Amino acid sequence: MASEFLDLLDKAVKEAIKLGAEYVDARLEQRTETRVSVRKGYVESSGIDVIRGFGVRALVNGSWGLSSTDKVSEKAIMDAIKNAVKLAKTSSPVRSRKVKLADVETHEDHVVAKVKVKLGEVSVEEKVKEVLEADEALRSYSPLIKDDRVFYNDQTFFKAFVSSEGTNVIVEGCRVYVRVYSTAGEAGVLSPAYEAIGGVKGFEVLREGEHLEAAKRVAERSVKLLKARVPKGGVTTVVLDNKLLALIVHEAFGHTAEADLVLTGTVLTNKVGQKIVSELVTIVDDPEPMNANGWTPYDDEGVKARKVIIVEDGILREYMQTRETAMALGMKPTGNARAQSYAHPPIVRMRNTYMLPRDWKPEEIIEETKEGYYLKGAMGGQADANGEFMFGVQEAWRIENGELREPYKGVTVSGNALAVLSSVDAVGNDLIIGFPGTCGKFQMVPVDGGGPHIRCQIRIGGR
């Protein structure tokens, strides 16, 4: 399909320049997605969706016009081009600052994600069977499991990008994403648990049994927490596991280092070169590794993506950028411009964001903690541009004299990201990058994150 579509994109770009655009890029995308959702041993819903469309972005007099259509015909595409140019022209007089784009190298490339088992080679029958097995593993764990859900989603994607500057890039690949939910119940008490696995991977994720292990872990956690109490609130010493740290690094800290938000004002605005958190903290946003859910070899502006060292030994080094924000801040583009689909504009988004490990063994961190909580996993929450955040924690254990005591549930953590990351006094050696998720900042994009175990001070909410 590639050559036929690239010709169409090329034609569209040339037409926009003819109509008066100073810059234009065009994207074409096709995704085939398979869904299977299972509950109580039967398939509740399943299906195959094919999403296809074209989007164009035109810059006229320093103003953006965007247009998209899911009719992929020459006429529909030419209409979309005309619309984009008209929108840019109409809104130009009300733009206070004219858009300029930072220079980037142009590329011609075709990148295909390497996976072991391509999704197209797996029958729908096998997909259904594996999801049913995960559900069975979950339900057979305990008669206390009252509700169960296993959602399987896979996606084969093809994205083509052409710009008026001469960039011409195709990125192809596939993703697998499995979510497992369990609710245990006893004596009127319900206890939910959740986990997601996957990434830019093929069906090997299921053939190797990762979904079955996740199902067992989730079942175990929901049952274990039935008898847990809700703790008292207050600021306390905590050990965070890789997953909860990943969420804090992404949601509470990462967003404040996105250049579009930096421009409107975050806690990191004008702080490059300053010490902002503990010198034990180094945080990066990485387009790699290839199997992580946020894999981005080229971003949706056709920029070759590179690793961004946001914080190095506690010092703020860099923000994540699009070409537009890089120009506005006098910095370099990073390849962080991502769009949910052909119909969405690329904006600054994270890819795979994680804290680098140091030298503590995770069990040593707990052994060396006199009093506090060990917090594991995350469920929902929100964060602000001033770094304030609140997240739900899946599982909490009280630590006393270096040992784990009783479990707690219904715990939330909150505070200011910079204050929490400044209080870090131990960083583990156990880096995990593998917490796939979908980040919503006006648009949904796949991301990943990670980090080691760490110890810090945080506010706990409970009763």
Partner 1 sequence: MSEIVERAVKEALREGATEAHATLRQGKTCEVELEADSISRARWSSSRTLTIYAIVGKRIARSSTKDISEEGMKRVVKNVVKMARASTENPHWSGLPHLRPYPEVKDIYDKRVESLDVSEVVEMAKLALQEVKEYDVRVLVMQGGISTSSSEVHIANSNGVLASDKFTSLSIIVLTVAKEASEIGSFAYEYQVSRKLDIDVSEVSREAARKALESLGAKPVKSFKGSVILDFDVSSLVFMSLAQAYNGDNVWKGSSPLRDKLGRRIAVEDLTVDDNGIMPGGLGSSRFDGEGSPRQRTVVIERGVLKNFINNTYTANILGTEPTGNAATILSVSPTNVVVKRGNYELDEMIEGVGRGLLVRRFSGIIKFQDGIVSGVAKQAFLIENGKLVHPVKECMISGNLYEMINNIDAISKEIKVKGVNVVPMLRVKEVSIIGK
Q: Does 95 bind partner 1 (CB under 8 A)?
A: yes
Q: Does 4 bind partner 1 (CB under 8 A)?
A: no
Quick one: CA torsion of 337, 295, 221, 451, rounded to 10 degrees? -80
Length of the chain in terms of residues written? 463
Whole-angstrom Cα Rg for the chain: 24
User: Which of 24, 138, 145, 192 lies at the binding interface for partner 1 (CB under 8 A)?
Assistant: 192
User: Which of 84, 115, 119, 320 lies at the binding interface for partner 1 (CB under 8 A)?
Assistant: 84
Q: How far is the CB of 126 from partner 1 (least distance, A)?
A: 9
Q: How far is the CB of 70 from partner 1 (least distance, A)?
A: 4
Q: How far is the CB of 290 from partner 1 (least distance, A)?
A: 28
Q: Which C-beta is closer to partner 1: that of 345 or that of 402?
A: 345
User: Which of 70, 109, 186, 312 lies at the binding interface for partner 1 (CB under 8 A)?
Assistant: 70
The distance of Cα 303 from the centroid of its chain, to the nearest Å, equals 19
Contacts of 447 (CB under 8 A, 6+ apart): 250, 293, 294, 349, 350, 351, 352, 353, 436, 437, 438, 439
> Which residues inside 272-311 make contact with partner 1, applying CB under 8 A?
none
> Which residues inside 97-156 make contact with partner 1, applying CB under 8 A?
97, 123-125, 128, 132, 146-147
Stretch that binds partner 1, among 7-15, 50-58, 272-280, 296-304 (CB under 8 A): 50-58
User: Which of 101, 263, 290, 331 lies at the binding interface for partner 1 (CB under 8 A)?
Assistant: 263
Q: Does 222 bind partner 1 (CB under 8 A)?
A: no
Q: Does 186 bind partner 1 (CB under 8 A)?
A: no
- Distances from the Cα of 238 to the Cα of 96, 332, 396, angstroms: 46, 37, 10
The distance of Cα 170 from the centroid of its chain, to the nearest Å, equals 21
Q: Does 74 bind partner 1 (CB under 8 A)?
A: no
Largest CA distance in the chain: 73
Q: Does 402 bind partner 1 (CB under 8 A)?
A: no
Q: Helical H runs in 103-209?
A: 124-139, 204-207
Q: 27: closest CA among 155, 157, 201?
A: 157
Residue 44 and residue 147: Cα distance in Å, rounded? 13
Q: Which C-beta is closer to partner 1: that of 44 or that of 406?
A: 44
> Which residues inside 324-353 make contact with partner 1, applying CB under 8 A?
343, 345
Residue 408 and residue 225: Cα distance in Å, rounded? 7
- Distances from the Cα of 440 to the Cα of 141, 382, 425, 444, angstroms: 33, 11, 31, 5
The vertex-208 CA angle with 206 and 214, nearest 5°, equals 65
Q: How far is the CB of 107 from partner 1 (least distance, A)?
A: 24
Q: Which C-beta is closer to partner 1: that of 48 or that of 112?
A: 48
User: Which of 9, 12, 23, 67 lies at the binding interface for partner 1 (CB under 8 A)?
Assistant: 67
User: Which of 1, 2, 43, 444 lies at the binding interface for partner 1 (CB under 8 A)?
Assistant: 43
Two structure tokens written together for 311: 């914080």
Stretch that binds partner 1, among 194-202, 279-287, 361-369, 386-394 (CB under 8 A): 386-394
Q: Which C-beta is closer to partner 1: that of 154 or that of 286?
A: 154
Q: How far is the CB of 378 from partner 1 (least distance, A)?
A: 11
Q: Does 187 bind partner 1 (CB under 8 A)?
A: no
> Which residues inside 419-448 make contact with partner 1, applying CB under 8 A?
442
Q: Does 12 bind partner 1 (CB under 8 A)?
A: no
Q: Are 104 and 183 in contact (CB under 8 A)?
A: no
Phi-psi region of 318 (alpha: psi -120 to 50; beta: other; left: phi over 0): beta
User: Which of 12, 26, 66, 458 lies at the binding interface for partner 1 (CB under 8 A)?
Assistant: 66
Q: Does 46 bind partner 1 (CB under 8 A)?
A: yes
Stretch that binds partner 1, among 7-15, 151-159, 210-218, 376-384 (CB under 8 A): 376-384
Contacts of 459 (CB under 8 A, 6+ apart): 233, 234, 235, 236, 413, 414, 415
